[in-house]
Amino acid sequence: MVVGDFQRLSLKGVKFMQEAMWYEKMAGKRVICHLCPHRCRISEGQSGICRVRINEAGKLLTKNYGLCTSLTADPIEKKPLYHFYPGQNILSVGTYGCNLKCAYCQNWHLAHTEPSLIFMEPSQVVKAAVEMKKHGSIGLAYTYSEPTVWYEFVLETSRLAKEKGLLNVMVSNGYIDEKPLAELLRFIDALNIDVKGFNNDFYQSYIKGDYKPVLKTAEMALKSGCHVELTTLLVTGLNDSEEEIEALTEWCLSALGKDVPLHFSRYFPNYKLDLPPTLLKTLAKAYEIASSKLNYVYLGNAPELGKSDTYCPQCKKIVVSRSSYHTKITGLKKDKCAYCGEKLAIVVSEAP
Ligand code: SF4
């Protein structure tokens, strides 16, 4: 296994490339990338499936190190993370590229094209986050596109951010191998993982991946002490059957526990898929199934159904109310229900 040393490489016409971590050199200047379960075997001059790791003269380089599409303060609820510092803002940064190919990608212009980019060193991003902390931001979120294929940059930036007392959050498809994940989790405080469905046929046909490694990522993250929430976008007729929702719920319960927040999100046509939006009654059914076993279930992109508030699982009163991205803590005393005293699975910054 070859581990990159973060030396900046001055390749002609390729200004910002760095040597990648987690790859192996093979005969004939070929390489195998071990960052994600695709395990791409890459010939000289070729890129991996994610487009952002390229074999140059037998070395695997990362093409997107330091290349940022945006740097914006967002409500943490937008990630979505509903149980991690609710109502706070976080400086959010993203790049381009992705190792999955969702037919209905909601961020396809970042994942599958080359948007306009700016270069920032990890120290510059952290400096901006420290500045934003003075205005109430809690740290850095690696989001918008897939952060695992920005691995080296996220690792270094999150390490520096931790040194400055900032929190690190990732919004990810969870498609990463165990060793690189373990290394990254040393610095990541919260993770929202897209579990895009609960059957492999769907993953293989519409996502171009396998769902088991995604489940493993969630299990590993939780075990490491990282705060974990899950998001499943329900796509009309493809991953929204009651049987599949039941199977997803059962796995959440047995592998992660009844306190893991699960967000179902409504699909709208995008990128290469043109199916009708998820029926509201399908979302309502998913909510009913999951909330019969799990304590915290939410519906996103469906304000009509009003399922974005947090309820105390014991006394059923609303403890955090949400409307769009306006969050109001209405019944929390630190991490306890202000009405009945029940301890809740929620990370808060201070007593409201
Ligand atoms: S990170 Fe990219 S290059 Fe590496 S295995 Fe995954 S898709 Fe292939």
Query: What CATH code is carried by the domain that includes residue 111?
Result: 3.20.20.70
Geometric angle at alpha carbon 248, from 268 and 314, rounded to 5°: 100
Per residue of the chain (352 residues), give pLDDT as tens: 222 333 333 333 445 689 999 999 999 999 999 999 999 999 999 999 999 999 999 999 999 999 999 899 999 999 999 999 999 999 999 999 999 999 999 889 888 888 888 999 999 999 999 999 999 999 999 999 999 999 999 999 999 999 999 999 999 999 999 999 999 999 999 999 999 999 999 999 999 999 999 999 999 999 999 999 999 999 999 999 999 999 999 999 999 999 999 999 999 999 999 999 999 999 999 999 999 999 999 999 999 999 999 999 999 999 999 998 899 999 999 999 999 999 999 999 764 3
End of a domain among 35, 62, 89?
A: 62
Asked whether residue 296 falls in the same domain as residue 175, the answer is: yes
Nearest to residue 191, comparing CAs of 81, 344, 295?
A: 81
Q: Ligand 1: which atom is nearest the Cα of residue 39?
A: 5
Of 299, 272, 40, 6, whose CA–CA distance to 309 is shortest? 299
In a domain, 265, yes or no: yes
The answer to whether the bond into 180 is cis (omega within 30° of 0) is no
Residue 34 resides in a domain: yes
Q: Are residues 57 and 73 in the same domain?
A: no
Which atom of ligand 1 is found nearest the CA of 20?
4
C-alpha 33 – ligand 1 centre gap (Å): 6
- Closest atom of ligand 1 to 151 CA is 1
Question: Does 51 sit in the ligand 1 pocket, CB within 6 Å?
Answer: no
Pocket test for ligand 1, best of 33, 100, 208 (most atoms within 8 A of CB): 33
Q: Is 146 found in the same domain as 182? A: yes
Q: Which atom of ligand 1 lies nearest, measured to the CA of 34?
A: 5
Q: Could you tell me if 284 and 325 lie in one domain?
A: no
Ligand 1, atom 3, residue with closest C-alpha: 48
Whole-angstrom distance, CA of residue 67 vs CA of residue 70: 9
**In this structure, is residue 329 part of a structural domain?**
yes
Q: Is 106 found in the same domain as 40? A: no
The answer as to whether 10 is a domain residue is no
Q: Which pair of tokens denotes residue 24? A: 């192996």
Amino acid 265: pLDDT? 97
Residue 112: Cβ within 10 Å count:
17
Mutate to test the pocket of ligand 1, among 19, 49, 96 (most ligand atoms within 8 A of CB): 49
Residue bearing the CA closest to ligand 1, atom 2: 50
12 located within any domain: no
Structural domain of 51: 18-62
Q: Token match 């995604």: residue?
A: 214
In a domain, 338, yes or no: yes
Question: Do 292 and 42 form a contact (C-beta atoms < 8 A)?
Answer: no
Examine residue 290 and state whether it is found in any structural domain, yes or no: yes
SS3 of residue 66 by DSSP: coil
Q: Which token pair is 33?
A: 């990338």
Among protein residues, the one with the nearest Cα to ligand 1's atom 4 is 33
Cα(48) to centroid(ligand 1), Å: 5
In the sheet that 59-62 helps form, which strands lie side by side, from edge to edge? 18-19, 59-62, 53-56
Task: Pick the closest to residue 75 from 61, 86, 66, 64 (CA basis).
Answer: 86
108 shares its domain with 131: yes
Q: Is 338 exposed, middle or buried (0-12, 13-18, 19+ CB in 10 A)?
A: middle
Residues 175, 273, single domain; the answer is yes
Specify whether 104 is located in the same domain as 181.
yes
Q: With a 6 A CB cut-off, is 55 part of the ligand 1 pocket?
A: no
The number of folded domains in the chain is 3
Per the CB < 8 A criterion, the answer to whether 174 and 86 are in contact is: no
What's the gap in Å between 158 CA and the centre of ligand 1?
A: 21
Q: Residues 182, 51: one domain? A: no
Q: Is residue 211 one of the residues assigned to a domain?
A: yes
Same domain, 43 and 80: no
Q: Is the shortest distance between the CB of 33 and ligand 1 below 6 Å?
A: yes
The verdict on 42 and 150 lying in the same domain is no
Q: Do 144 and 282 belong together in one domain?
A: yes
CA distance 210 to 202: 9
Residue 60 pairs with which residues in a beta bridge? 55
